[in-house]
A and B are shown apart, each in its own frame.
Chain A
Amino acid sequence: MSGHSTYEPKTGVERWLDTRLPIVRFMYDTALDFPTPKNLNYWWTFGGILALMLGIQLVTGIVLAMHYVPHVDHAFASVERIMRDVNYGWLIRYMHANGASMFFLAVYLHMFRGLYYGSYKAPREVLWILGCVIYLAMMATAFIGYVLPWGQMSFHGAVVITNLIGALPIVGEPITTLLWGGPAVDNPTLNRFFSLHYLLPFVIAGVVILHIWALHVPGNNNPTGVNVKSKADTVPFHPYYTVKDGFAIAVFLLLYAAFVFYNPNVLGHADNYIPANPLVTPAHIVPEWYFLPFYAILRAVPDKLGGVLLMFGAIGVMFVLPWLDTSKVRSMRYRPTARLYFFIFAFFCLVLGYCGGQLPDDPVLGSPSGLKLLDADINSFVWLSRVATVYYFAYFLVILPILGLTEKPLPVPESISEPVLSHPATTPAGAVASPEKRG
């Protein structure tokens, strides 16, 4: 898509097709010949992993949908029937359920990679925003998918989340009614959720294509953050990155397989093996682990509408990040102060995730301090969530905008291949101009 194509049709059929629909040329240029910076590290392998996970979710999902019954009286039993009577149904279903978790694990690492190496900065703003759109659609898909087995967490999670949307002014109520298809979460809800759960992954696939298109115009960022200057800085995608991504994918699959085969329910919640019962509310309604940071932000705010707005704001702020970060230097390798704040940010994201799984009023350490601040003891998860939430937003809205203007970054290398001679320690290991013989 960018630069000049080196594809040469080899067979008659390819030549014939090339003058009519140059699809083989397109695939060759995108997937085989694409010039890729030669210094990408393993944090760059998650893109390929994500594409594979989307494929796995689509294939396993379509097979599940052949056996699944979207009806409140049959959904739970139909999922169990998949586990018990469908040939390799247990494999398909556990791959799908754990696949969602692995998908999120990969997307989070992929996003932190982007945050650290400044991949959201010009000229990759649209690429970054498309990524945020994919992430939003993934959250919607996963939330809706979790409702389908119609267990206790499915049902009560659906009630809690749809009610949140109802808190929004003006649009809230009509949206909830549309989602419910009636006065409450019931059979019509399950029906339309199934339909949407089938639809959204294909929407994601479409946005993924745009995302890759937007990637191939400016090309990959890289750990130094400096632009590709010459051909010496790049290698063709195939075989160099097909093999490197392939290796990373295999390692990732090992982890995935360990969950699927040896601990398939550890990431889920036991209550979701109890068929949904609107009359019995589970003691603690907790979302899947990948939503916990946002759940903590939601509960950090005493006011429901405020919480909802802040929760959506936490994702919204990522959309405008390219214009919030004022630094011209992409990679945090050369921004030591920003790097420190980044690691604190990552740490607080984990803290938020942890808080999201706890009861807000429980003490974080030992027993309650007895010191009440506003509505809760200061030694409580709700206060820890508040501290972390403040940092989360401050990172985007205060730290990155100011830091870019005040910090003194380290010297940035001239190019990917040529290190800055005065600062050899800050260059990527082995990045020397003359290729050494290894292996």
Chain B
Amino acid sequence: MLRKGIALAALGLALVGGPALAAGGHQEIHPQSWSFDGPFGKFDTAQLQRGYKVYREVCAACHSMNLVYFRNLGQPGGPFYDPKYKNPNDNPYVKALAADIQVNDIDSETGDVIQRPAIPADKFPSPFPNDAAAAASNGGAVPPDLSVITKARTGGPDYIYSLLVGYKTPPAGLKIGPGQNYNAAMPGDLSAFWSGDHKKVPPGGFLAMPPQLAPDKVTFDDGTKSTVEQQAKDVTAFLAWAAEPKQIERKSFGFGAMIYLLIFTVLLYFSYRRVWRNVAH
């Protein structure tokens, strides 16, 4: 009896000390509904095209996307996929988009470094020759490569969107260092920079990237109204596609695999019942 009592007491103690949410720096995240959410979600091609434009005209000035090639834009599921061109390298639209951009090359005759228009087989070029140059132009902070950024941040696309729209007027009492910007979605703990009520530390943190989006900063070819929210949402969708271009294929393949496994499971269950029907166990 005593042993049981001790055991129960130990269990009780453990339950009282059970899990709880930790306090600390908090962030303002605005969950969005994305066309690619859920097991049947798909990318919205028009949105990806607008998103590419935002990346190209705004973000590409500072951020590389080293894992993305122009040809990816024309592959199945990509923003400029055209079923007429099974090989994305032949897609004239993708060729034209690539040709708009200059990339470095070596002249095979002279060995000189030259610039030439990109072809679909080229990577998106980096805006800076190296990290030191990137840091030097950005107040010491290196703009991260955006190829897999939605997978590389907790919160994924919701976080990226919230960050892009999260530049708020800093509340009075918040000390902001030189070259830093206040953002309500950025992870961090602002208590050390806050002179107001210590129970009301503002959400978010600081980052070196200044606000990038502004109304009508990018003109959308399909006539969509170019608000900050729209630009943020579209570029985030584009980044989510770039982070995993095969994710729609993954989900649709998965659906078939799940159905197959389900049928297989049911068949095995009935075989099991049948094989064991004469055994008491």
**A residues whose Cβ falls under 8 Å from a Cβ of B:** 38-39, 77, 80-81, 83-84, 90-91, 94, 235, 239-240, 243-244, 246-247, 250-251, 253-254, 257-258, 260-262, 264-265, 270-271, 273-275, 283, 337, 340-341, 343-344, 347-348, 351, 354, 358-359, 362-367, 384, 387-388, 391, 403, 406-407, 417, 428, 430-439
Q: Which residue of B lies closest to A274 (CB)?
A: B152
Residue numbers in A under 8 Å from B151 (CB-CB): 265, 270, 273
Q: Is there an interface contact between B280 and A344, defined as CB atoms closer than 8 Å?
A: no
Asked, given contacts A362-B22, A384-B17, A439-B274, whether A391 binds B254 with beta carbons under 8 Å apart, the answer is no
How far, in whole Å, are A201 and B275 apart by their CA atoms in the complex? Answer: 35
**B residues whose Cβ falls under 8 Å from a Cβ of A:** 3-4, 7-8, 10-11, 13-14, 16-20, 22-24, 39, 66-67, 72, 144-145, 147-148, 151-154, 156, 187, 243-246, 249-251, 253-255, 257-258, 261-262, 264-265, 268-269, 271-281
Q: Is there an interface contact between A347 and B14, defined as CB atoms closer than 8 Å?
A: yes
Q: Is there an interface contact between B261 and A364, defined as CB atoms closer than 8 Å?
A: no
Asked, given contacts A83-B246, A265-B151, whether A435 binds B280 with beta carbons under 8 Å apart, the answer is yes
Contacts between the two chains (Cβ within 8 Å), count: 155
3 pairs of A and B residues whose beta carbons are closest in the complex: A261-B254, A439-B277, A273-B152
Given contacts A90-B250, A246-B268, A257-B258, could you give 18 more A-B pairs where the C-beta distance is less than 8 Å? A39-B281, A83-B246, A90-B244, A243-B271, A257-B254, A257-B261, A260-B254, A261-B258, A340-B7, A340-B8, A344-B7, A344-B10, A347-B11, A347-B14, A351-B14, A431-B281, A435-B278, A439-B273
Residue numbers in A under 8 Å from B13 (CB-CB): 387
Residue numbers in B under 8 Å from A428 (CB-CB): 281
Q: Is there an interface contact between A344 and B277, defined as CB atoms closer than 8 Å?
A: no
30 residue pairs of the A-B complex, CB under 8 angstroms, read A80-B148, A83-B246, A84-B67, A84-B72, A94-B250, A243-B275, A244-B276, A246-B268, A247-B272, A250-B261, A261-B258, A262-B254, A271-B152, A283-B187, A337-B3, A337-B4, A340-B7, A341-B7, A344-B10, A347-B11, A351-B14, A351-B17, A364-B17, A364-B19, A365-B20, A432-B280, A435-B279, A438-B277, A439-B273, A439-B277
Q: Is there an interface contact between B39 and A262, defined as CB atoms closer than 8 Å?
A: yes
Residue among A91, A247, A265, A344 making CB contact with B11, cutoff 8 Å:
A344
